[in-house]
């Protein structure tokens, strides 16, 4: 029997006062973590070094950050690379490496001209009369010291601590490292975590950097899809990395991150897989928290939670009674799903096997059977069925006839729902 449980349940942790810190011997400077590398190198090599820490070359957003950088680097270094690249059009067409945008809000270039575009990479003067001013340098042949930048996080004893989150690979657990999604989620939840979600290029680099020394082809991540048409993170966070989804799709509804390039599958891309497959996986939880309970011992089967006649908020799972075993006559259920404000709800139903025409799953776009009926499901559906609400409420009913034939296979269904921001 496979487990069904809340994807975004109220996690069993205590969030006490969390202390901001930097990892990897970086220094807290304002709201950033910085590290100086004094050996001169090319801009390309400097960027690659920062990527080893899931970071980028230092960026500057305002006058205060511009002045603080010179004080941090201090005397002995004439200039450093900035994480700023100028495209055709000169210094008026420059973008920061951390995807924070252009320099329209603040710039300290000595030259501001559309014609000044011979060199594309920006440098920062640390000493002398030009202290704090920016110049353009040759990306390939200039050799300069540099400063790497990573985000702050919270103090925690986890080994992989980044940007306010702890990342827990399956190697950290005493369970088999390759298990199906239900068991993987259970291990995450008992450690106050969920399967990992990915929200930036640097977060993706962090995960890839960890697995460089491993021989894994891929890992399971916390995403589900309706046959590749749209994707949702199981922790309820916004889906903002869609361009990493590869073109290769399958009939599954779970998602893996490719760690190696193989055929049409590109390293660093997400691809669809069957949920029943065994996978390496990674969990993600807030940093600086303490779990109220010790991780539960994992056994071969878990208690089933149908949530029949229950109300669920934000994200979660529900199923027919006794799933994946046969449900009984007269066990009709309702499931009231809700989320906050103007957010909507996405529901994915799997493994639907109910008696055709007699037993029905109905989905209403609202909070009761008085709301618009948007979907009726009966019989067998081997492919997942996906539905998105127009409001922040969904009402699901499972009606079971009293005269069912006990010889008919009818295991019911299971379902996940998440908040769509």
pLDDT of residue 181: 79
The CATH architecture annotation of domain 32-151 reads Roll (3.10)
Average per-residue pLDDT in the chain?
83
What does the pLDDT read at residue 9? 40
Backbone angles phi, psi at 123, to 5 degrees: -125, 160
Q: Which helix (H) or strand (E) is 49 found in, with range?
A: helix 43-51
Is pLDDT at 226 greater than 50 in this prediction?
A: yes
The tens digit of pLDDT for each residue in 12-67 reads 555 556 899 999 999 999 999 999 999 999 999 999 999 999 999 999 999 999 99
Domain boundaries, the chain: 32-151, 154-291, 310-420
DSSP 106: -
Question: What distances in angstroms separate CA 407 from CA 327, 328, 404, one per listed residue?
Answer: 12, 12, 9
- Which tens digits make up the pLDDT trace of 103-119? 988 999 987 654 445 77
pTM given for the model: 0.68
pLDDT at 74 (0 to 100): 86
Query: According to the CATH classification, is domain 154-291 in 3.30.470.10?
Result: no
Kindly provide the residue ranges of all beta strands, DSSP E only, lying in 130-243, ordered along the sequence.
134-137, 144-151, 153-154, 161-162, 165-169, 194-195, 218-225, 231-233
Q: Are strands 194-195 and 161-162 parallel, antiparallel or unpaired?
A: unpaired
How much is the average pLDDT of 158-184? Answer: 84
**pLDDT the model gives residue 261:** 79
User: Which tokens hold the place of 222?
Assistant: 């916390």
CA neighbor of 3 nearest in space, from 223, 311, 299, 285: 299
DSSP annotation string for 120-147? -EEEEE-SSTTTT-EEEE-TTT--EEEE
Q: Which of 307, 244, 293 is nearest to 270 (CA)?
A: 244
Q: What is the pLDDT of residue 338?
A: 85
pLDDT in tens, 305-319: 688 898 888 777 899
DSSP character at residue 281: B
Q: Over the stretch 365-421, which tens digit does the pLDDT of each residue have?
A: 998 999 999 999 998 887 778 888 988 889 999 988 876 565 566 888 988 887 776
Task: Specify the fold of 310-420.
Answer: Jelly Rolls (2.60.120)
* Extended beta strands in 226-372, E state: 231-233, 254-258, 270-273, 282-286, 290-291, 310-313, 316-319, 333-338, 344-353, 360-364
32-151 and 154-291, same CATH topology: yes
Q: How confident is the model at residue 195 (pLDDT cuts 50, 70, 90)?
A: very high
Helix 43-51 and helix 201-210, axial crossing angle in degrees, nearest 10: 70
């Amino acid at each position: 029997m496979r487990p069904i449980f809340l994807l975004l349940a109220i996690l069993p942790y205590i969030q006490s006062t969390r202390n901001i810190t930097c990892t990897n011997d970086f220094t807290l400077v304002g709201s950033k973590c910085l590290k100086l590398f004094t050996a001169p190198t090319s801009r390309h090599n400097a960027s690659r070094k920062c990527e080893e820490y899931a970071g980028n070359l230092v960026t500057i957003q305002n006058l205060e950050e511009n002045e603080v950088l010179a004080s941090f680097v201090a005397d002995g270094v004439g200039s450093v690379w900035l994480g700023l690249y100028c495209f055709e059009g000169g210094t008026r067409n420059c973008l920061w490496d951390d995807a924070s945008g252009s320099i329209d809000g603040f710039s300290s270039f000595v030259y501001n001209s559309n014609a000044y575009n011979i060199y594309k990479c920006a440098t920062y003067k640390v000493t002398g009369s030009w202290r704090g001013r920016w110049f353009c340098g040759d990306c390939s042949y200039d050799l300069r010291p540099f400063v790497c930048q990573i985000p702050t996080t919270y103090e925690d004893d986890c080994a992989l601590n980044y940007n306010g989150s702890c990342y827990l690979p399956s190697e950290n657990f005493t369970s088999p490292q390759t298990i199906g999604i239900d068991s993987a989620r259970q291990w995450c939840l008992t450690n106050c975590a969920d399967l990992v979600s990915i929200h930036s290029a640097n977060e993706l680099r962090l995960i890839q950097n960890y697995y460089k020394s491993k021989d894994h082809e891929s890992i399971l991540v916390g995403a589900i899809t309706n046959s590749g048409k749209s994707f949702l993170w199981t922790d309820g966070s916004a889906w903002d990395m869609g361009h990493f989804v590869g073109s290769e799709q399958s009939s599954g509804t779970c998602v893996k991150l490719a760690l190696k390039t193989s055929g049409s599958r590109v390293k660093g891309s997400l691809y669809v897989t069957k949920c029943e497959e065994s996978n390496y996986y990674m969990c993600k939880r807030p940093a600086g928290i303490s779990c109220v309970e010790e991780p539960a011992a994992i056994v071969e089967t878990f208690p089933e939670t149908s949530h029949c006649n229950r109300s669920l908020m934000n994200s979660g799972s529900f199923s027919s009674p006794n799933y994946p075993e046969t449900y009984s006559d007269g066990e009709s259920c309702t499931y009231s799903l809700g989320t906050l404000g103007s957010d909507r709800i996405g529901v994915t139903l799997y493994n639907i096997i109910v008696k055709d025409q007699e037993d029905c799953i109905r989905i209403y776009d609202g909070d009761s059977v008085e709301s618009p009926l948007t979907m009726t499901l009966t019989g067998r559906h081997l492919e997942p069925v996906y539905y998105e609400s127009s409001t922040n409420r969904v009402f699901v009913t499972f009606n079971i006839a009293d005269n069912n034939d006990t010889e008919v296979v009818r295991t019911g269904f299971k379902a996940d729902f998440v908040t769509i921001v």
